[in-house]
Structure 1
Amino acid sequence: MSDLRIRAAAAGDLDAVLAFWKAAAEGTSISDDRSGVARLVARDPEALILAERDGELAGTVIAGFDGWRCHLYRLAVHPDHRRRGVGAALLAAAEERFVRLGGRRGDAMVLDRNDLAHHAWRAAGYAPEPQWSRWVKALHTG
């Protein structure tokens, strides 16, 4: 995994991220447009985390923190890079960010029909909360 680079997205990455989500993510969101992602990066420059391998975008996750709760969105790994630790590295980076900011629990929005994602979230230690249709994990803060 030494060839995997994890970094925050910059304004120049927006078009590549949007194209990536069309190819690698299950479905799209109403906020999957340039202005929506630009607002995210402008408001919280560390929230959109990218994984690159050999200069190619391999995965993304949005690690949003509102000062109280930690929210995970858009965990996506390109099919050519799956099962190679990309998702785990992205979630580790997101969780490190949350702990650094004082967050105590990560909530993940996961499509009910996305069985592949369910496996990945379970492997990362998250569990479904059926009453809320989200997946959660307590974060260790020290």
Structure 2
Amino acid sequence: MSDLHIRHATLPDIDTVLQFWREAAEGTSISDDHDGMARLITRDPEALLLAERDSVLTGTVIAGFDGWRCSAYRLAVHPDHRRQGIATALLEAAEQRFLALGGRRGDAMVLEANERAHHTWAAAGYHREDHWRRWVKPL
């Protein structure tokens, strides 16, 4: 994993990330557009983490914190790069961000039908709270 580089997204990354999500992420969100991403990056420049290998985008996660709740969104790894520890590295980077901000629990938004993702979150130490339909982990 020494050749994997994790960094914060910047405004020039928006189009690349949107294209990446069309290929690597399941489903879309109403905010998956240029304006939505620009708002995210402008409001919280450290929230969108990108994993790159040889300058190629291989994974993403949004690590948001509102002062009370830590939330992970858009964990995605390109299909050609899965099962190589990229999701684990992204989640570790997100959790380090949460801890540095004073977060005490991470919540993950995961599509109900995405069984592969459920296994990823469980392997990372998150557990499902069925009454909320979200995945959580004490930090």
| TM-score, normalisation: structure 2 | 0.99
Q: 1:76-110 deviations in whole A, cap 9, x for unaligned?
A: 00001100000000000000000000000000000
Task: Report 1:41-120 matches (<5 A).
Answer: 41-120=41-120
Which residue is equivalent to 1:13?
Answer: 13
Q: Partners in 2 of 1:117 and 1:26 — Cα distance?
A: 10
SS at match of 2:122: helix
Shift of the alpha carbon at 1:58?
0.2
Which residue is equivalent to 1:124?
Answer: 124
Query: Among the aligned pairs, what percent are the same residue?
Result: 71
SS at match of 1:60: strand
Which residue is equivalent to 2:29?
Answer: 29
SS at match of 1:63: strand
**Can you give the 5+ residue segments of structure 1 that lack an aligned partner in the other structure?**
none
Q: 1:46-73 deviations in whole A, cap 9, x for unaligned?
A: 0000000111000000000001110000
SS at match of 1:75: strand
Q: Partners in 2 of 1:124 and 1:54 — Cα distance?
A: 25
Q: CA RMSD in A?
A: 0.4
Moved over 4 A (4+): none
Q: Partners in 2 of 1:43 and 1:64 — Cα distance?
A: 11
**Can you give the 5+ residue segments of structure 2 that lack an aligned partner in the other structure?**
none
SS at match of 2:107: strand
Q: Partners in 2 of 1:134 and 1:72 — Cα distance?
A: 11
